[in-house]
């Protein structure tokens, strides 16, 4: 069993009241798509389809041979002796002339099957130049329109575009498709104690990791990062950086400066620019100080500890980005290899790794700054208070499913 200490509680009134996860979700679910744009097939991969892909003609558009072999009319096949071939009919050839009675076409896979033929027998089922007994009339013919009629919706709007969807778009004659726009994201990390990764830190300093982690997550999603900087614990400098970031982005992610410390001034700076947050504080561990402004631009102020950044980004920001980009994020229901012990009051955002048997293994850090312990993890499992451990919601990291 996986255990943990209970986090501190406490609530206040109004916007500062700690939200349940359901209440926080209700507020972030108000986000609407950013808009659409036209993308080439190559650039559409991983995007969300804005308009359905519709068949411009029947699929397949003609009766096509499914095997290399002979095509003929079964009722007029000679009872004995080799079949007389009328010629070769290959894929890409126009319909041939009428087939003489008792004859067959030597036919290639993908070729049009003439209307006066009702059966295809593959080469491997031929013997002494004629079909072996036991073939079925009508076999190995892919009938016209049997996959889809003209005008049929082949791929629904709001679908994620993968290689198969690209193939379908090309098959209906599209070189560009209408997709929802991806969010342009800005990242602002904070804290005097955090120095660049190429700097040797002094004993009281640490190297910056939150920004690179978020960049990696966003790169997996294909989001453009239009701003990335680090703010010192100086309100004037941070304010100027906020103004630059807000002017460039659809979504701003801030790491740190959102708790109740003497130098946690992010909320005040954002309120001067965007008004009060929709919420500041969620009944979750880690990540209780999370704050959200619906914008525009949308702002998530994440706690500064690395595991808190990882958990809140995965549980809250990823679903919000999906909504902004035209699709609803639905977590998967999963089973753990060992039932986690729920918190009595807070939801637990538990980092997990994939086990060899398909179940998920808990990777709980010792604290919210211990990101070493979560190496190899693949996502977050939400463990509600007093949860049924048999079925829990899984929020995967991008491209980690």
* pLDDT of amino acid 198: 78
Whether residue 333 contacts residue 394, with contact meaning beta carbons closer than 8 Å, is answered with yes
For CATH 2.40.340, list the domain ranges present in the chain.
332-396
The CATH T-level fold of domain 64-142 is Molybdopterin biosynthesis moeA protein; domain 3 (2.170.190)
* Nearest residue to 283 via CA among 2, 11, 4, 3: 11
Helix H or strand E segment including 334: strand 332-334
For CATH 3.40.980.10, list the domain ranges present in the chain.
14-37+182-324
* pLDDT of amino acid 142: 98
In sequence order, the β-bridge partners of residue 71 are 105, 120
d(CA 350, CA 344): 15
DSSP letter, residue 144: T
Reply yes or no: is the peptide bond before residue 297 cis, omega within 30 of 0.
yes
* pLDDT of amino acid 6: 34
Distances (CA, A) of 145 to 65, 120, 151: 14, 18, 11
For CATH 3.90.105.10, list the domain ranges present in the chain.
43-58+148-180
CATH top class, domain 332-396 = mainly beta
d(CA 207, CA 196): 6
Token representation of residue 114: 């003439």
Q: What is the CATH number of domain 43-58+148-180?
A: 3.90.105.10
For Cα atoms 306, 311, 314, give the angle at the middle one, nearest 5 degrees: 120
pLDDT under 50: residue ranges of the chain: 1-13, 401
d(CA 271, CA 28): 18
* pLDDT of amino acid 59: 97
CATH of 14-37+182-324, one of 3.40.980.10, 3.40.190.10, 3.40.50.300, 3.40.50.2300: 3.40.980.10
* pLDDT of amino acid 206: 62
Please write the tens of the pLDDT for every residue from 162-210.
999 999 999 999 999 999 999 999 999 987 776 677 777 677 766 768 9
For CATH 2.170.190.11, list the domain ranges present in the chain.
64-142
* Nearest residue to 325 via CA among 180, 179, 158: 180
* pLDDT of amino acid 389: 64
* pLDDT of amino acid 336: 82
**Residues contacting residue 271 through CB under 8 Å, at least 6 positions apart:** 277
d(CA 86, CA 14): 85
d(CA 171, CA 166): 9
């Amino acid at each position: 069993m996986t255990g943990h200490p209970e986090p501190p509680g406490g609530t206040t009134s109004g916007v500062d009241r700690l939200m349940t996860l359901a209440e926080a979700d209700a507020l972030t679910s108000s986000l609407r798509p950013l808009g659409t744009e036209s993308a080439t097939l190559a650039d559409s991969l991983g995007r969300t389809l804005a308009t359905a892909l519709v068949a411009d003609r029947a699929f397949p558009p003609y009766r096509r041979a499914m095997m290399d072999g002979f095509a003929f009319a079964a009722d007029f096949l000679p009872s004995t002796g080799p079949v007389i071939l009328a010629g070769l009919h290959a894929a890409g050839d126009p319909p041939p002339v009428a087939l003489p009675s008792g004859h067959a076409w030597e036919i290639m896979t993908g070729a049009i099957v003439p209307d006066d033929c009702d059966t295809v027998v593959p080469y491997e089922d031929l013997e002494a130049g004629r079909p072996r007994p036991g073939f079925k009339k009508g076999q190995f013919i892919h009938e016209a329109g049997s996959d889809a009629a003209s005008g049929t919706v082949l791929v629904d709007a709001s679908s994620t575009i993968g290689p198969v969807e690209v193939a379908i778009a090309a098959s209906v004659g599209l070189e560009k498709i209408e997709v929802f726009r991806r969010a342009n994201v800005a990242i602002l990390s904070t804290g005097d104690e955090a120095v660049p990764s190429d700097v040797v830190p002094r004993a009281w300093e640490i190297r910056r990791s939150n920004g690179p982690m978020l960049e990696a997550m966003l790169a997996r999603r294909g989001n453009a990062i239009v701003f990335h900087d680090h703010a010192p614990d100086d309100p004037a400098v941070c304010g100027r950086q906020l103004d630059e970031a807000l002017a460039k982005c659809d979504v701003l992610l801030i790491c740190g400066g959102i708790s109740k410390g003497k130098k946690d001034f992010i909320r005040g700076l954002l309120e001067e620019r965007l008004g009060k947050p929709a919420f500041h504080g969620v009944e979750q561990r880690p990540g209780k100080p999370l704050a959200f402004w619906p914008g525009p631009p949308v702002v998530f102020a994440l706690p500064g500890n690395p595991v808190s950044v990882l958990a809140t980004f995965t549980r809250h920001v990823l679903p919000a980005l999906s909504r902004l980009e035209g699709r609803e994020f639905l977590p998967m229901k999963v089973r753990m290899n060992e039932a986690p012990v729920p918190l009595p009051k807070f939801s637990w955002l538990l980092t997990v790794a994939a086990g060899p048997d398909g179940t998920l293994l808990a990777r709980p850090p010792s604290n919210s700054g211990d990101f070493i312990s979560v190496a190899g993890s693949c996502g977050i499992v939400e463990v509600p208070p007093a949860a049924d451990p048999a079925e829990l919601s899984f929020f995967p990291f991008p491209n980690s499913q």
